[in-house]
Amino acid sequence: MALEGGVMKHFRIDRILIVRILALAAIAAMLSATGARAASRERVLYNFQGGSDGSYPVAGLVTDKAGNLYGTTTAGGSGSCSSSDGVGCGTVFELSSVAGGGWTEKVIYTFQAGQDGSYPEAGLTFDAAGTLYGVTRAGGGGGCNDLEPGCGTVFELTLGIGGTWTENVLYRFEGGSDGSTPISGLVFDHAGNIFGTTEAGGGLACQLGCGTVFKLTPSTQGWVETILYAFAGGTDGDTPEGRLVLDRAGNLYGATNVGGASGFGTIFKLIPNSSGAWSETILYSFGGNKDGSVPNGVISDKAGDLFGTNFNGGHNGYGAVFELSSKGKESLLFNFGGSGVNGESPRSGLTFDAAGHLYGTTEYVTAGGSGEVFMLTPNTQGGWTKGTLYVFSGGSDGGQPFGNVILDSRGHVYGTTWTGGTGNCSGNNGTGCGVVFEIVQ
């Protein structure tokens, strides 16, 4: 994302970090070929090459009932887009395992920089019928984006006869009160309505708008958008980040990167009322110091407690994992940075496994390395113990994971890195086009 007022505001692939990427390339030579710093083993399932197959996967993955993996790349493909990160408008891809081992990639949709959208930056969502849903941060028409014309889209991909997927744009953002630049995943309620956020638009309190929470409702005339809440900046919050959480009562929970009482982000709750309107409650405002800053979104446990990561802040200043109890008490479960081999600067949210362990990724590592996959385990003292599952070298094994991870029934961990691998993408100064990885614990 670009920087606005010292805070991440736009494209997740932060241009300022390129210098640091080059430094990590030198560090990678000193790490082992696998980059391992723990007992877990990593396997690269696919190396993006930066052409029609896609490049720069920054979001996490989803899986179908057959175990196939699906994700997005922010660039690459056959579209006509061109930016500092290379050519192509992005893709949606499928990875399928093949007999005898290995995986094969299939691009199921390539964005073309027109009305269909461009630069998908969020993860995908399946509905019960096996249709995929996602967003693009640009494209769709209009002129509110400096990358490609358009304020972003919500799309669906439907599988047809012969294995062909067809894209249909459900909504094209116009950049005004309806919002612009969606960069986070979608959620469904039981009635089939779609909920999501835009990081900009919605009003003029912020230069580009402070962002929105929206709802898409299916109708006989297509999908109808309703703005549930438009952020006003200041103590109200600004720039929502991460997939929303929908509870059984129909309330929505989420996070904003900035804003709040101290300006370092918030955790919010949206409550529907009988008239159809929604009211916002700020559950927590981050102070930017010991309690963390710039939250990356939240997930919920069965008790209604919220968990998430902070990109900055914490005791060492390099981010933290936090819990916000249903009673409104915030506590840090782990602080990144410090001495030894420890992750820094998480950009992803968290994932629970069936046993209640938390998994996530960081973009960097204190003692050299290009990000890690970590696990937090509840301990007998009432706290959490952190374990490093894998440290990326930034070479052929991948580097700088941005998205969340998923787990299969065996406990294997799957995710993406936006750098590293065997590809040679000009936007990353030759440090690779990203990979899809598996961690065997």
Share of the chain above pLDDT 70, in %: 88
Between the CA atoms of 282, 287, 288 and 294, what dihedral angle is there, to the nearest 10 degrees? -10
Half-sphere exposure of 239 (CA within 13 A, CB side): 23
180 and 172 in contact (C-beta within 8 Å)? no
* Sheet strands side by side (includes 187-188): 187-188, 194-198, 212-219, 222-230
Place of tokens 């459900």: 170
Burial category of 400 from C-beta neighbours within 10 Å (exposed 0-12, middle 13-18, buried 19 and up): buried
Could you give the C-alpha distances from 40 to 76, 198, 382, 416, 422, in angstroms and in order?
31, 37, 26, 17, 22
Supply the pLDDT for residue 143: 72
pLDDT tens sequence across 358-368: 999 999 998 77
- Among residues 277, 246, 242, 271, which one has the least CA distance to residue 256? 242
The DSSP bridge partners found for residue 104 are 96
Structure tokens at 31: 């790490």
Between the CA atoms of 320, 321, 324 and 325, what dihedral angle is there, to the nearest 10 degrees? -140
SS3 428: helix
Supply the pLDDT for residue 21: 42
Supply the pLDDT for residue 19: 37
Strand (E) or helix (H) holding 23: helix 18-28
Rg from Cα positions in the chain: 20
Q: How far from each other are the two terminal CA atoms of the chain, in whole angstroms?
A: 33
Strand (E) or helix (H) holding 395: none
Q: Provide the CA 406 distance to its chain's centre, in angstroms.
A: 12
Place of tokens 């067809």: 166
pLDDT tens sequence across 223-281: 999 999 999 999 999 999 999 999 999 999 999 999 999 999 999 999 999 888 999 99
Burial category of 381 from C-beta neighbours within 10 Å (exposed 0-12, middle 13-18, buried 19 and up): exposed
Half-sphere exposure of 133 (CA within 13 A, CB side): 20
Q: Which residues of the chain have pLDDT under 50?
A: 1-37
DSSP character string of 322-363: EEE-TTS-EEEEEE--SSSS-EE---S--EE-TTS-EEEEES
Q: Provide the CA 141 distance to its chain's centre, in angstroms.
A: 24
Supply the pLDDT for residue 149: 75
